[in-house]
Amino acid sequence: MSVLVNKDSKIIVQGFTGKEGSFHASQMIEYGSNVVGGVTPGKGGQTHLDRPVFNSVQQAVQATGANVTIIFVPPRFAADAVMEAADAGIGVIVCITEGIPVQDMVKVKAYIEDKDCTLIGPNCPGIISADEAKVGIMPGFVFKKGKIGIVSKSGTLTYEASDQIVKAGLGVSTAIGIGGDPIIGTTTADAVKLLMDDPDTEGIVMIGEIGGNLEAIASRWIKEHGTKPVVGFIAGETAPKGRTMGHAGAIVGGADDTAQAKKRIMAECGIHVVESPAEIGITMIKALETIKA
Protein backbone atom coordinates (compact mmCIF):
# COMPACT_ATOMS: atom_id res chain seq x y z
CA MET A 1 0.00 0.00 0.00
CA SER A 2 1.15 3.55 -0.64
CA VAL A 3 -0.15 7.11 -0.68
CA LEU A 4 -0.81 9.27 -3.79
CA VAL A 5 1.45 7.33 -6.19
CA ASN A 6 2.25 3.66 -6.75
CA LYS A 7 3.55 1.24 -9.36
CA ASP A 8 0.29 1.55 -11.33
CA SER A 9 0.35 5.36 -11.55
CA LYS A 10 0.51 6.64 -15.12
CA ILE A 11 2.91 9.57 -15.03
CA ILE A 12 3.56 12.36 -17.52
CA VAL A 13 6.23 15.07 -17.37
CA GLN A 14 5.42 18.70 -18.20
CA GLY A 15 8.55 20.31 -19.56
CA PHE A 16 9.57 16.84 -20.73
CA THR A 17 12.21 17.77 -23.29
CA GLY A 18 13.92 20.50 -21.25
CA LYS A 19 17.17 19.94 -19.40
CA GLU A 20 15.66 19.43 -15.94
CA GLY A 21 12.67 17.48 -17.21
CA SER A 22 14.86 15.18 -19.28
CA PHE A 23 17.31 14.46 -16.48
CA HIS A 24 14.77 13.76 -13.77
CA ALA A 25 12.40 11.87 -16.07
CA SER A 26 15.24 9.52 -16.94
CA GLN A 27 15.97 9.04 -13.23
CA MET A 28 12.31 8.31 -12.56
CA ILE A 29 12.21 5.77 -15.38
CA GLU A 30 15.37 4.13 -14.08
CA TYR A 31 13.77 3.87 -10.63
CA GLY A 32 10.85 1.98 -12.18
CA SER A 33 8.22 4.72 -12.25
CA ASN A 34 5.58 4.25 -14.94
CA VAL A 35 6.33 7.34 -17.05
CA VAL A 36 3.98 7.13 -20.05
CA GLY A 37 4.92 10.33 -21.88
CA GLY A 38 5.46 14.04 -21.58
CA VAL A 39 4.32 17.48 -22.66
CA THR A 40 6.28 20.16 -24.50
CA PRO A 41 4.15 22.58 -26.54
CA GLY A 42 5.26 22.61 -30.17
CA LYS A 43 6.99 19.23 -29.98
CA GLY A 44 3.92 17.01 -30.11
CA GLY A 45 4.38 13.89 -32.21
CA GLN A 46 8.06 13.50 -31.33
CA THR A 47 9.56 10.80 -29.14
CA HIS A 48 11.77 11.52 -26.15
CA LEU A 49 13.36 8.95 -23.81
CA ASP A 50 11.41 6.37 -25.82
CA ARG A 51 8.16 8.01 -24.74
CA PRO A 52 5.67 10.08 -26.78
CA VAL A 53 5.66 13.86 -26.57
CA PHE A 54 2.36 15.78 -26.63
CA ASN A 55 1.51 19.44 -27.18
CA SER A 56 -0.92 19.58 -24.25
CA VAL A 57 -1.79 17.74 -21.06
CA GLN A 58 -5.26 17.05 -22.42
CA GLN A 59 -3.78 15.24 -25.42
CA ALA A 60 -1.46 13.27 -23.16
CA VAL A 61 -4.33 12.19 -20.91
CA GLN A 62 -6.47 11.14 -23.85
CA ALA A 63 -3.66 9.08 -25.39
CA THR A 64 -2.12 7.51 -22.29
CA GLY A 65 -4.70 7.65 -19.51
CA ALA A 66 -2.22 9.61 -17.37
CA ASN A 67 -3.36 10.38 -13.83
CA VAL A 68 -0.17 11.89 -12.35
CA THR A 69 2.00 14.73 -13.64
CA ILE A 70 5.28 16.28 -12.58
CA ILE A 71 6.03 19.84 -13.64
CA PHE A 72 9.45 21.13 -14.71
CA VAL A 73 8.70 24.46 -16.37
CA PRO A 74 10.06 27.98 -15.71
CA PRO A 75 8.43 29.96 -12.87
CA ARG A 76 6.46 32.32 -15.11
CA PHE A 77 4.74 29.40 -16.87
CA ALA A 78 4.31 27.09 -13.86
CA ALA A 79 0.96 28.39 -12.61
CA ASP A 80 -0.60 27.87 -16.05
CA ALA A 81 0.95 24.37 -16.17
CA VAL A 82 -0.71 23.43 -12.87
CA MET A 83 -4.09 24.77 -13.97
CA GLU A 84 -3.81 23.01 -17.33
CA ALA A 85 -3.16 19.70 -15.55
CA ALA A 86 -6.14 20.25 -13.25
CA ASP A 87 -8.39 21.05 -16.22
CA ALA A 88 -7.26 17.84 -17.94
CA GLY A 89 -8.38 15.71 -15.00
CA ILE A 90 -4.96 14.80 -13.59
CA GLY A 91 -5.46 13.53 -10.03
CA VAL A 92 -1.99 14.15 -8.58
CA ILE A 93 -0.01 17.21 -9.67
CA VAL A 94 3.59 17.55 -8.47
CA CYS A 95 5.15 20.96 -9.10
CA ILE A 96 8.93 21.01 -8.66
CA THR A 97 9.43 24.57 -9.94
CA GLU A 98 10.73 27.10 -7.43
CA GLY A 99 10.48 30.87 -7.62
CA ILE A 100 6.81 31.00 -8.66
CA PRO A 101 5.40 34.45 -7.76
CA VAL A 102 3.16 34.36 -4.69
CA GLN A 103 0.32 36.07 -6.56
CA ASP A 104 0.43 33.27 -9.15
CA MET A 105 0.04 30.64 -6.41
CA VAL A 106 -2.86 32.56 -4.87
CA LYS A 107 -4.60 32.26 -8.25
CA VAL A 108 -3.71 28.55 -8.56
CA LYS A 109 -4.92 27.73 -5.05
CA ALA A 110 -8.31 29.32 -5.75
CA TYR A 111 -8.56 27.78 -9.22
CA ILE A 112 -8.01 24.16 -8.16
CA GLU A 113 -10.14 24.37 -5.02
CA ASP A 114 -13.14 22.77 -6.71
CA LYS A 115 -11.08 20.45 -8.91
CA ASP A 116 -10.67 16.77 -8.07
CA CYS A 117 -6.90 16.92 -7.74
CA THR A 118 -4.10 17.01 -5.20
CA LEU A 119 -1.28 19.51 -5.70
CA ILE A 120 2.12 18.78 -4.15
CA GLY A 121 4.44 21.79 -4.05
CA PRO A 122 5.58 23.99 -5.62
CA ASN A 123 9.28 24.23 -4.74
CA CYS A 124 9.33 20.66 -3.48
CA PRO A 125 11.24 17.40 -4.01
CA GLY A 126 8.05 15.50 -4.91
CA ILE A 127 6.65 12.16 -3.74
CA ILE A 128 8.16 8.70 -3.55
CA SER A 129 6.45 5.45 -2.65
CA ALA A 130 9.48 3.31 -1.93
CA ASP A 131 10.22 0.60 -4.50
CA GLU A 132 7.07 1.56 -6.44
CA ALA A 133 7.15 5.05 -7.92
CA LYS A 134 9.31 8.14 -7.72
CA VAL A 135 7.61 11.34 -8.88
CA GLY A 136 10.25 13.85 -7.97
CA ILE A 137 13.91 14.72 -7.74
CA MET A 138 14.95 12.75 -4.66
CA PRO A 139 17.76 10.17 -4.78
CA GLY A 140 15.81 6.94 -5.05
CA PHE A 141 18.46 4.70 -3.50
CA VAL A 142 17.92 6.33 -0.08
CA PHE A 143 14.34 5.04 0.14
CA LYS A 144 13.72 1.37 1.00
CA LYS A 145 10.26 -0.15 1.39
CA GLY A 146 8.81 -0.16 4.86
CA LYS A 147 6.06 1.08 7.17
CA ILE A 148 7.01 4.68 8.01
CA GLY A 149 5.56 7.68 6.20
CA ILE A 150 7.44 10.97 5.92
CA VAL A 151 6.04 14.49 5.57
CA SER A 152 8.59 17.25 5.09
CA LYS A 153 8.99 20.87 4.04
CA SER A 154 12.67 20.27 3.25
CA GLY A 155 14.03 18.13 0.44
CA THR A 156 17.40 17.48 2.05
CA LEU A 157 15.83 16.60 5.40
CA THR A 158 13.41 14.24 3.65
CA TYR A 159 16.39 12.27 2.41
CA GLU A 160 18.08 12.39 5.82
CA ALA A 161 14.92 11.21 7.58
CA SER A 162 14.59 8.31 5.17
CA ASP A 163 18.22 7.36 5.68
CA GLN A 164 17.74 7.30 9.46
CA ILE A 165 14.52 5.28 9.16
CA VAL A 166 16.11 2.74 6.81
CA LYS A 167 19.21 2.41 8.99
CA ALA A 168 16.90 1.68 11.94
CA GLY A 169 15.48 -1.26 9.97
CA LEU A 170 12.04 0.27 9.47
CA GLY A 171 11.86 1.51 5.86
CA VAL A 172 9.52 3.98 4.17
CA SER A 173 5.97 3.63 2.83
CA THR A 174 5.58 7.03 1.15
CA ALA A 175 7.56 10.25 1.57
CA ILE A 176 5.82 13.51 0.67
CA GLY A 177 7.89 16.65 0.21
CA ILE A 178 5.28 19.39 0.51
CA GLY A 179 7.58 22.31 -0.37
CA GLY A 180 8.79 25.41 1.42
CA ASP A 181 6.96 28.25 -0.31
CA PRO A 182 4.49 30.51 1.55
CA ILE A 183 1.57 29.11 -0.47
CA ILE A 184 1.54 25.40 -1.29
CA GLY A 185 -1.04 22.89 -2.41
CA THR A 186 -0.90 20.09 0.14
CA THR A 187 -0.26 21.22 3.72
CA THR A 188 1.50 19.35 6.51
CA ALA A 189 -1.87 18.39 7.99
CA ASP A 190 -3.21 17.21 4.62
CA ALA A 191 -0.21 14.92 4.15
CA VAL A 192 -0.36 13.61 7.73
CA LYS A 193 -4.04 12.73 7.27
CA LEU A 194 -3.25 10.73 4.12
CA LEU A 195 -0.62 8.71 5.96
CA MET A 196 -2.82 8.22 9.02
CA ASP A 197 -5.44 6.69 6.70
CA ASP A 198 -2.92 4.38 5.00
CA PRO A 199 -3.28 0.88 6.56
CA ASP A 200 0.31 -0.03 5.73
CA THR A 201 1.85 3.03 7.37
CA GLU A 202 2.56 2.37 11.05
CA GLY A 203 4.33 5.60 12.04
CA ILE A 204 4.93 9.10 10.66
CA VAL A 205 7.92 11.43 10.59
CA MET A 206 6.90 15.09 10.40
CA ILE A 207 9.64 17.57 9.48
CA GLY A 208 8.96 21.28 9.60
CA GLU A 209 10.82 24.54 9.74
CA ILE A 210 10.49 28.07 11.05
CA GLY A 211 7.76 30.30 9.63
CA GLY A 212 4.02 29.86 9.26
CA ASN A 213 1.61 27.71 11.25
CA LEU A 214 1.40 24.48 9.23
CA GLU A 215 3.10 22.38 11.90
CA ALA A 216 0.90 23.75 14.67
CA ILE A 217 -2.27 22.98 12.72
CA ALA A 218 -1.05 19.46 11.96
CA SER A 219 0.00 18.88 15.57
CA ARG A 220 -3.41 19.86 16.91
CA TRP A 221 -5.10 17.59 14.39
CA ILE A 222 -2.82 14.74 15.49
CA LYS A 223 -3.71 15.35 19.14
CA GLU A 224 -7.42 15.06 18.32
CA HIS A 225 -7.43 12.38 15.64
CA GLY A 226 -4.02 10.70 15.44
CA THR A 227 -3.87 6.91 15.71
CA LYS A 228 -0.17 6.35 14.97
CA PRO A 229 3.06 7.55 16.60
CA VAL A 230 4.57 10.71 15.11
CA VAL A 231 8.21 11.78 15.40
CA GLY A 232 8.81 15.46 14.74
CA PHE A 233 11.75 17.71 13.94
CA ILE A 234 11.86 21.47 13.30
CA ALA A 235 14.72 23.01 11.34
CA GLY A 236 15.94 26.57 11.94
CA GLU A 237 16.67 26.63 15.67
CA THR A 238 19.17 29.50 15.38
CA ALA A 239 17.45 31.54 12.64
CA PRO A 240 17.30 35.29 13.38
CA LYS A 241 13.91 36.99 13.36
CA GLY A 242 12.93 38.59 10.05
CA ARG A 243 15.43 36.82 7.82
CA THR A 244 14.32 34.25 5.23
CA MET A 245 16.24 31.02 5.68
CA GLY A 246 16.49 28.70 2.66
CA HIS A 247 12.83 28.59 1.69
CA ALA A 248 10.63 31.58 0.92
CA GLY A 249 8.26 30.53 3.70
CA ALA A 250 11.00 29.98 6.29
CA ILE A 251 10.92 33.30 8.07
CA VAL A 252 10.18 34.09 11.70
CA GLY A 253 7.48 36.75 11.76
CA GLY A 254 6.18 36.28 15.31
CA ALA A 255 6.60 34.38 18.55
CA ASP A 256 4.75 31.31 17.28
CA ASP A 257 6.92 31.05 14.14
CA THR A 258 10.10 30.07 15.98
CA ALA A 259 11.50 26.56 16.14
CA GLN A 260 11.19 26.59 19.93
CA ALA A 261 7.49 27.49 19.82
CA LYS A 262 6.72 24.86 17.22
CA LYS A 263 8.58 22.18 19.16
CA ARG A 264 6.65 23.09 22.31
CA ILE A 265 3.30 22.82 20.51
CA MET A 266 4.28 19.49 18.95
CA ALA A 267 5.33 18.06 22.31
CA GLU A 268 2.11 19.27 23.95
CA CYS A 269 0.19 17.40 21.25
CA GLY A 270 1.92 14.10 21.97
CA ILE A 271 4.48 14.16 19.16
CA HIS A 272 7.91 12.70 19.90
CA VAL A 273 10.13 15.73 19.22
CA VAL A 274 13.81 15.19 18.41
CA GLU A 275 16.62 17.74 18.60
CA SER A 276 18.55 16.25 15.65
CA PRO A 277 17.64 14.29 12.52
CA ALA A 278 20.12 11.65 13.72
CA GLU A 279 17.61 10.77 16.48
CA ILE A 280 14.67 10.09 14.14
CA GLY A 281 15.22 6.36 13.63
CA ILE A 282 15.81 5.31 17.23
CA THR A 283 13.01 7.57 18.45
CA MET A 284 10.56 5.98 16.00
CA ILE A 285 11.59 2.49 17.15
CA LYS A 286 10.88 3.46 20.77
CA ALA A 287 7.57 5.09 19.82
CA LEU A 288 6.40 1.98 17.97
CA GLU A 289 7.44 -0.25 20.86
CA THR A 290 5.43 1.92 23.25
CA ILE A 291 2.33 1.60 21.08
CA LYS A 292 2.67 -2.18 20.76
CA ALA A 293 3.26 -2.57 24.48
Enzyme catalytic residues: 247
Phi, psi of 274 (to 5 degrees): -110, 155
Dihedral sign of CA atoms 70, 4, 158, 108 in order: positive
Sequence-separated (6 or more) residues with CB below 8 Å from residue 65: 10, 36
**What's phi and psi for 175, nearest 5 deg?**
-110, 130
Look at residues 50, 112, 53 and name the one whose alpha carbon lies nearest to residue 81. 112
Are 203 and 288 a contacting pair, CB within 8 Å? yes
CB under 8 Å to 281, separation ≥6 — which residues? 164, 165, 167, 168, 170
Q: 97: buried, middle or exposed (CB in 10 Å: 19+, 13-18, 0-12)?
A: buried
Phi, psi of 89 (to 5 degrees): 90, 15
d(CA 208, CA 178): 10
In angstroms, rounded to a whole number, what is the distance separating the alpha carbons of residues 208 and 224? Answer: 20
Q: Determine whether 156 is exposed, middle or buried from the number of CB atoms within 10 Å of its CB (0-12, 13-18, 19+).
A: middle
